[in-house]
Amino acid sequence: MKKTIYDATEIQQALNRMADSFPMSSTDAPWAVVGIRRGGEHLAARLATLLGQRVGAEIPVGYVDITLYRDDGFGPNDWPEVGVTEIPFPLKEHTIILVDDVLYTGRTVRAAIDAIIDYGRPKAIRLAVLVDRGLRELPFRADSAGFELKTTPNEHVDVLLSADGGEGDQVTVGPRGNGEEVQQ
Amino acid sequence: MSILIQNGRLIDPVNATDKLADIRIQNGKIAEIAAAKSLNPGPDEELIDATGKWVSPGFIDLHAYLREPGEEYKEDLESGGKAALAGGFTTVVVMPNTHPVIDNAEHVQYILARSRALGLCEFLPAGALSVQRKGKNLAPLAEMQKAGAVCFTDADRAIANGQLMRNAMEYSTDFGMTLFSHAQDEALCSDGHMNEGAASTRLGLRGMPCVAEESIVARDAMLAEYTGAKLHFSHLSAAGSVARVAQAQQAGAAVTAEVGAHHLLLTEEDVDGFDTSAKLNPPLRTEDDRLALIDGIRTGVLCAISSNHAPHNSVEKDVTFASAEFGASGLQTVLPAAIKLVDEHDISPLVALGCLTSGPASILGLESGGLACESTANVTIIDPKENWEFTPERNLSKSTNSPFLGKTLKGRVLKTIAKGKVVFTV
Amino acid sequence: MDAATIYGILATAKGFKEISRRKIKKVPSLRGRTILNVFYENSTRTRVSFELAAKRLSADGVNISASGSAVAKGESLLDMAQTLNAMQADAVIIRHSSSGAPHYLADRISARVINAGDGLHEHPSQALLDIMTIWEKFDELDGLNVAIVGDIAHSRVARSNLIAMKTLGMNVRVAGPATLIPRELAAVYGCEVCDSVSQAVEGADVVMALRLQKERMNSGLLPSLREYSVEYGINAKLLKTTGDNAILMHPGPVNRGVELSADIVDGQRSVILDQVENGVAVRCALLYLILGGSQP
């Protein structure tokens, strides 16, 4: 029932497009990339590498865990996994590119922004996502989206990404199973 | 007033009878006993069909705290009496740790007067052994005995001073008195709340070790042998205590002992969850102790089962375990202990019911004629097979601190007849 | 509590440890919840630890310090329970001198109840933070050798640790004055009771010393502090006989020179301060896991 709509090659192309939309010349620079755990982790690292190639310097990477910032708690049978937020660079000197695999309701982004602001005050925050599937519940807009999809609430979008862009990378769309979270 | 009990199994430990029989009661006495189904009902005679049931002499309880005078909010002789009858008891020895203490003739007479006035079961007063139960000076034992006290004890306080106990024993021999001993070394139990053992370690509660009871049982048994006094040990709880009593009996001392019904049915594991209705003094002990107590009944070392009925209000019991008072209510749940002995421990009904009838009677020196012609008609009719739930509605005590409340028990009192009158029906 | 649950709590606590090292030590997870600390026994360490934990989760933590003779008997615990219900607390953290007080409360109030130490019975959050501290130093807990030394009989810290360590498969040896070790300890907790401290400590990976309270001398259980420190105190010489990477623990506050010689309290092996830091993290984790669900 799940359909692969983008494969590894298309994903890499999208990543390159995303990297292009953050030019060094922009007044936003210097950039830093912060991936939202856990879907945005590999994405953040790979985007930072691509950006770094264009800019000729290493782009700092950080990760933010939003478990404790969610607005919906956790279910009665769930065991929340609280990950560690790492931001190993000074926030106020950088513009953060906040990275996630799928942008959906926008609640994850809201939580991530709150988490980052608790850490410090960045110059600005821009949002980069691999897939924007619409159906926003909060007023957020991606500054750069690899793909834009029209989806319905009873579909589930899955992104499989590896650390270095292997063959297995894919974006799939299928019907939503029971008990799947809707945060994104 | 004539009653005919038909076709019941007559189990009379006093006269060592166990047979199917018809019994006729007239004018407060047993009038006739004949073969089952052989007696013809007279006109206006109340008929009780006891087919499949046991017919026993009315039970005698050696140890109940009925809180009157002074703590009537927990229980009084009226509510306690009703609970007693529901438990099959037609005679109850009431403990003297009331307010004021029963330590003189006047107070003894008070209890007896109330007993007559209420007309429920018969209350027999135990007199305090020491003045005000302070454990220092002897109370006026002879005076109390003349007034009607049937035994002497400081109830839930042990006699710490060996000299006082010796004096009481020696004094008592002139009068043929029976002393009851609450055997416990209080210092070894200081700040203890349950049996010292695995359960107390786990629950983080300070314990009262078996040796605290056993050491005083040893002391008092040896003193009884030395002085020739008649000594009865209340509510034993430890295996070692049973052994020491057996030893004393073999040496010829006039020593008897009882066990509380709760200690035959429960162990320290029942305290789990910090259940204050299982907080007893002496405490519930291990399964090994429980089995040793049952064995004590089997061998005759222990010849009585008491209720240790200790009603407490929620003020005393609805608190943390360490703060709770000791004691559980128990008059209505004694029979199931006897039935359990028969069902699961290979003890004959005569011996088991003997612990509720002939045993207590002989300890007190009561002339209990059992179920023989001309004896007072105190009769308890039992269904030994019925499983029944001890619901709050069935609880006749003013207090609810029973570990069996809401539980199902086997063995039920169906009717109690006191002095020829039916005073309790299920 | 099974091993999986313990490890789960500790994993969550690890996440919280990081938060306590940030500049803004706060996350909004329990925003607006009311958490009441009801401490019937004096305790700065544990109370502040729970207080901080509540505040780090953005909850409203309020202290109710209830000591004094009238309350000491526990009669008013029922009144307290009814008052707590009226206050609509989400969680109540209770420390009480009576074993079973948290259970008593839990049966009577609608809020969640967390045991911060009841009588001699248990002190679960302490055991969890102790295990967390050990886990930070040793990857594999199963089969680890632990020595617990001191007044076991009066220690709820010891009991909770014994339970946790048994669940996690650690080998525990216990030593202390015979008057302070319950007779049934080995049978109940599956630990080994040693004749001497040196026997228990030899080859241990973890040495945990318990606090000795001065009341024990008054109850006739021990002759003197001096004798205790000579016969049962942990010192540098004893520590040399432990395993290679052995750590030294103590629930605090330490009686320097009694349970531990002064030099080792701050020495290399001591993780006592880690225990304190982990205490806040563990308590954050507990509060979060108990109150952070989406159900009200």
**Contacting residues of B for C121, CB less than 8 Å apart:** 203-205
Q: Do C18 and A85 touch (CB under 8 A)?
A: yes
Mean pLDDT of chain C: 90
For residues B129 and A174, give the distance between their C-alpha atoms in angstroms, rounded to a whole number. Answer: 87
Question: Does C28 contact chain A (CB < 8 Å)?
Answer: yes
pTM comes to 0.87
Question: Does C112 contact chain A (CB < 8 Å)?
Answer: no
Q: Do B204 and C159 touch (CB under 8 A)?
A: yes
Decide: residue C192, CB within 10 A, 0-12 exposed, 13-18 middle, 19+ buried.
middle
Mean pLDDT of C248-261: 92
Vertex A103, ends A97 and A106: CA angle to 5°? 90
Please give the pLDDT value at position A19.
93
On the question of pLDDT at C289 being above 50, the answer is yes
Q: What is the pLDDT of residues A2-23, one digit of tens each?
A: 889 999 999 999 999 999 998 8
**Phi and psi for A169 in degrees, rounded to 5?**
-60, 135
Please give the pLDDT value at position A87.
92
On the question of pLDDT at C274 being above 90, the answer is yes
**Greatest C-alpha distance within chain A:** 49
On the question of pLDDT at A182 being above 70, the answer is no
Please give the pLDDT value at position B20.
96
Q: Minimal CA–CA distance to C230: which of C182, C263, C197, C265?
A: C197
CA distances from C110 to C87, C95, C225 (A): 11, 18, 44
- Percent with pLDDT over 90 in chain B: 96
Nearest residue of C to residue A67 by CA position? C29
Question: Does B269 contact chain C (CB < 8 Å)?
Answer: no
Q: Do B319 and C184 touch (CB under 8 A)?
A: no
**Contacting residues of C for B321, CB less than 8 Å apart:** 98-100
Q: Do A69 and C27 touch (CB under 8 A)?
A: yes
Q: How confident is the model at residue C295 (pLDDT cuts 50, 70, 90)?
A: low
Q: Which of C77, C103, C188 sits opposite B319 (nearest CB)?
A: C77
Mean pLDDT of C28-54: 91
Q: Do B321 and C183 touch (CB under 8 A)?
A: no
Mean pLDDT of chain B: 96
Q: Do A82 and C23 touch (CB under 8 A)?
A: no
On the question of pLDDT at A178 being above 80, the answer is no
On the question of pLDDT at C211 being above 50, the answer is yes
On the question of pLDDT at C25 being above 80, the answer is yes
Query: Residue C228: CB partners within 8 Å, gap ≥ 6?
Result: C177, C212, C222, C258
Instruction: Report the complex ipTM.
Output: 0.85
On the question of pLDDT at B368 being above 80, the answer is no
On the question of pLDDT at C71 being above 80, the answer is no
Please give the pLDDT value at position B154.
96
Q: What is the pLDDT of residues B54-112, one digit of tens each?
A: 999 999 999 999 999 999 999 999 999 999 999 999 999 999 999 999 999 999 999 99
Question: Does B27 contact chain C (CB < 8 Å)?
Answer: no
**Contacting residues of C for B206, CB less than 8 Å apart:** 120
On the question of pLDDT at C70 being above 50, the answer is no
Q: What is the pLDDT of residues B220-237, one digit of tens each?
A: 999 999 999 999 999 999
Look at A72-86, B74-88, B257-271, C151-165 and tell me which has the smallest mean pLDDT: A72-86
Q: How confident is the model at residue B1 (pLDDT cuts 50, 70, 90)?
A: confident
**Which chains reach chain A with 3 or more Cβ–Cβ distances below 8 angstroms?**
C
Mean pLDDT of C161-180: 95
Nearest chain C Cα distance for residue A144, angstroms: 28
**Which chains reach chain C with 3 or more Cβ–Cβ distances below 8 angstroms?**
A, B
* Residue to test with chain C: of A68, A74, A78, A87, most C Cβ within 10 A: A68
Q: Which of C11, C24, C294 sits opposite A72 (nearest CB)?
A: C294
Q: Do C289 and A80 touch (CB under 8 A)?
A: yes
**Phi and psi for A39 in degrees, rounded to 5?**
-70, -25
**Which chains reach chain B with 3 or more Cβ–Cβ distances below 8 angstroms?**
C
Please give the pLDDT value at position C74.
53
Question: Does C103 contact chain B (CB < 8 Å)?
Answer: yes
Please give the pLDDT value at position C69.
47
Q: How many helices (H) and strands (E) does chain B have?
A: 13, 18
Nearest chain C Cα distance for residue A20, angstroms: 33
Look at A72-76, A111-115, A172-176, A178-182 and tell me which has the smallest mean pLDDT: A178-182
On the question of pLDDT at B257 being above 70, the answer is yes
CB B152, CB B177: distance < 8 Å:
yes
Place of tokens 């957020």: A140
Q: Do C12 and A80 touch (CB under 8 A)?
A: yes
Q: Do B206 and C120 touch (CB under 8 A)?
A: yes
For residues B296 and B289, give the distance between their C-alpha atoms in angstroms, rounded to a whole number. Answer: 10
Q: How confident is the model at residue B114 (pLDDT cuts 50, 70, 90)?
A: very high
